[in-house]
Amino acid sequence: MAFKFLKNPYSGLLAGWKFLLSFRKREWSLKDYPIIVRKQRDSRQIWGKTVRWTVPAYDARVVNWWTLMGSGDTAEAAMEKLRERFDSARENRPSMPRPGTQVPLEFASQERIAANSALANEFLQSVLEHGEAWISDESSLWDFASGHSLDDYYAKIRSLYGVDVSDIPGGNVADILERIAQSKQKEVEAGGKP
């Protein structure tokens, strides 16, 4: 997706205005937040590689809340997706941030990935074909897939590690690494080479 994180002067003014208006009430709905809807361009190239999907035509996001966004083929569809994600955030957060304020990024845990860090590094290079990437306990093979299937990854994992992981829900990387590590441990216990 060709997306520029440039500071738009309009978004700063909108955020400031919504921030000031937020002091008029204690509970905020989506319409109280500064929202920008824009048409995206579909480059078909990400990091120099051709991708197999198209970028949705529209993007709707809350200014200064980098993870709260929606996209769709129309501006209305993008707003509807944003509304769904806003409602989900409202249900799952202890409190909602004041409109217009900067919402810090929250990173998922890496405890399970760290438990198999050497294997994770090897997996990144040999299976995912990335030199470096940030992987959390919630990361999925889908985060790295450029198609509509994970079959190529499953075949590569079977070939390299001799383990079938096609039944792991969502292709969760932490679950996959744990299964590979368990398989290697069983080989060691059986007297084989890891």
Residue pair 35/17 in contact (Cβ under 8 Å)? The answer is no
Cβ density class 98-133: b for 16+ within 10 Å, e for less: ebbeebeeeeeebebbeebeebbeebbeebbeeeee
Residue pair 157/128 in contact (Cβ under 8 Å)? The answer is no
**pLDDT computed for residue 179 by the predictor:** 95
**pLDDT computed for residue 1 by the predictor:** 34
Q: Across the chain, where does the E strand assignment appear?
A: 35-39, 45-46, 49-50, 58-62, 69-72
Q: Are strands 49-50 and 35-39 parallel, antiparallel or unpaired?
A: unpaired
**pLDDT computed for residue 31 by the predictor:** 95
Q: What is the pLDDT of residues 107-164, one digit of tens each?
A: 778 899 999 899 999 999 899 888 788 888 888 888 887 767 788 999 999 999 999 9
Domains in the chain with CATH codes: 9-92 (no CATH), 111-189 (1.10.1200)
Rounded-to-integer distance, Cα 80 and Cα 152, Å:
33
Rounded-to-integer distance, Cα 138 and Cα 146, Å:
18
Q: Give helix then strand counts, H and E, for the chain.
A: 6, 5
| Cβ-based neighbour number of residue 173 at 10 Å | 29
Q: Are strands 45-46 and 49-50 parallel, antiparallel or unpaired?
A: antiparallel
* pLDDT < 50: residue spans in the chain: 1-6
**pLDDT computed for residue 123 by the predictor:** 93
**pLDDT computed for residue 32 by the predictor:** 95
For residue 174, give the nearest of 82, 128, 110 by alpha carbon: 110
Q: Are strands 69-72 and 58-62 parallel, antiparallel or unpaired?
A: antiparallel
